[in-house]
Each structure stands twice: as C-alpha cells, then as structure tokens.
A and B are shown apart, each in its own frame.
Chain A
Amino acid sequence: MATTATLTLASADIAGDPVSVSKTATLTKAGTINDLDQSIGLNRVHLRSTTNKVLLSANAEGNNLAAKVYIINKAVDTSLYLTVTINAQTIGKLYGGDFLFIPWSQTDTDANIEVAATNWTSSTGDIPVEYALFHEDTDFLTNA
C-alpha cells in the first residue's frame, strides 16, 4: 500500500547557482518500513471563520503513531491567508496557493490542527482549503 510524497524545490535565480531539490518519501508507520494504510481522502472546505476552527481532531491514541498532513490554500488571491495552528501554537500562514506537508504528533487531544481565515471579510470571499491525512490507527485496522 505504498503512498509516496514527492517535494521539488526549484529556483534559477534565488542564489548564484540554481537550486534544485527533489525528494520522495514513502509514507510508513512509525518506526517501521510498513506502509501507512489509512487516509481520510482529499477534503475540501470553504473557510470564512476569522477564529480557529478544528480541521483535524487529535486522537490521543495517535500519539507515537505516524500521521502526515497535507493542507493547501486554494485561494487565487495571494493576500488571503490561512493561519494554521497546533494546540493554539501558530505553525505559519498559508497564503493563496501555498501548501504544507508535515508530520503530526497527536500528543494529546488538545493537539488539534486548526485553521482560521484570519483576514477574511464578507468582501474577500471564502477561502477554499483542501486537506488530506495519511495515518495509522490502532482501533480501525485495515487487516487483522
């Protein structure tokens, strides 16, 4: 059940020589070479809340299990941003077109991943957000 994540970073002019980084990771369970076997699929929401809303709810049983999170701000307007937090700690802001891909420790049930359309107003329009979670689970097994 191999799922792979490939990141490419490329620039011809940010430094004196070109930057070209390309890495592929096979998503595996914590501390093993066994593939991650669960996903919530690709989801899409339209965010208009200026306060934090739970995008992914932490499961305390997920602590020390592997989980990978993908979030992208699909807004075309680069000034519209999404503030991403874990347990109220700001990770960063995803501006229109930006994405993240991070490992997620569900250290406890407070470690939710939350998002806020911090500079949303009724005139800016909603912020489309797509996200996916790849994870393992001790309760919902894909095989016994």
Chain B
Amino acid sequence: MATTIASINLTSTDLLSDSLSVSAVSTLTGAGNSTGLTLTGGLGRKRLATGHAQYTLFDGDAYANGAHKIYLKNTSSTASEHFTIEINSEQMGKLYAGDWAFFPWEANADTNDIKIDPSADDMVLEYMIFIDE
C-alpha cells in the first residue's frame, strides 16, 4: 500500500469583502476502502503537434471500474489557448492556459474515454493518473 496525498488551497484576498481561504487534504484510496492507491501512470506530457484534433488521453476500455484520480494541466502561457476536456463525449470544461484540474474518474464503461481537444497546434498537456486496480 502506498500513501498519496492530494491537497488543495483556494485563496483570494480581494474576490470578496473578506478573505477566502479553503483548504482540503485527501488521501487517495481505492473505491470504498482505506487502502492507498498503489499504481500510477506517472507524470506525463502530451504535445499535439498539428491538426489539433481530439485525442484520447485515457481509454475507458483500458482501466477497470474504480476510484481513479486524474490530474491535468494546460502548460500554455497564451491566455486564449485551451484544451476542451470530454468524458464519454460530454464536455466537462475548457482548461485555459495555466489551469489545472483534478477529479475522480470511474472508467465504468468502455466508452468512458477522457478526450482532449486543443484549440491550437503544439499545445502541451501535463497529466497524471492514479489507478485503482
């Protein structure tokens, strides 16, 4: 069993009339248990060079139904460049330059692919999966 910790801090001193500070810490475990996730795909980067067409980043068919965790980051520094993120053809959101996302992924169907669609050529997405066997 491994121990992997994910933590998040959301802060602002001027969005509201009082300071905002939200923090949470989560230990990544298997579905419905307290056993730490033991597998990862490692930290990777994907450059989509030309055509900027939709690309399957994680294939639902390749993973068991489980409590996987996904990290994505758009490494671009050009504000208008974004990746559109889809799960099973449903658009989740657009990851603009510098944005990151972290979310659970069930892979509960072969069609539950996570696909990315860059808005321009040569954009680079950083990604990582923590796998629930």
- Where the two chains meet, the residues of A that have a C-beta atom closer than 8 Å to any C-beta of B are 1-15, 19, 21, 23, 25-28, 30-33, 35-37, 39, 41-42, 64, 66-68, 70, 72, 78-79, 81, 84, 86-87, 89-95, 97-105, 107, 111, 132, 134
Task: Contact check, B108 vs A90: say whether CB atoms are below 8 A apart.
Answer: yes
Separation in Å of the A30 CB from the closest CB of chain B? 6
For this complex, 26 residue pairs linking A to B, each with C-beta atoms less than 8 Å apart, are A5-B100, A7-B6, A7-B8, A7-B100, A8-B7, A9-B5, A14-B40, A14-B130, A28-B79, A28-B96, A35-B15, A41-B16, A68-B99, A70-B8, A79-B32, A90-B108, A91-B105, A92-B67, A92-B104, A95-B31, A97-B27, A98-B104, A101-B8, A102-B85, A102-B103, A107-B91
> Once the chains are docked, how many angstroms separate the CA of A67 from the CA of B94?
9
Known contacts A3-B15, A32-B79, A105-B92: A9-B104 contact under CB 8 Å: no
Quick one: CB contact mask for B1-23 with A, threshold 8 Å, 1 for yes? 01111111111111110001010
Known contacts A6-B9, A101-B101: A91-B38 contact under CB 8 Å: no
- Where the two chains meet, the residues of B that have a C-beta atom closer than 8 Å to any C-beta of A are 2-16, 20, 22, 24, 26-27, 29, 31-34, 36-40, 42-43, 67-68, 71, 73, 79-80, 82, 84-85, 87-96, 98-106, 108, 112, 128, 130
Task: Contact check, B4 vs A9: say whether CB atoms are below 8 A apart.
Answer: yes
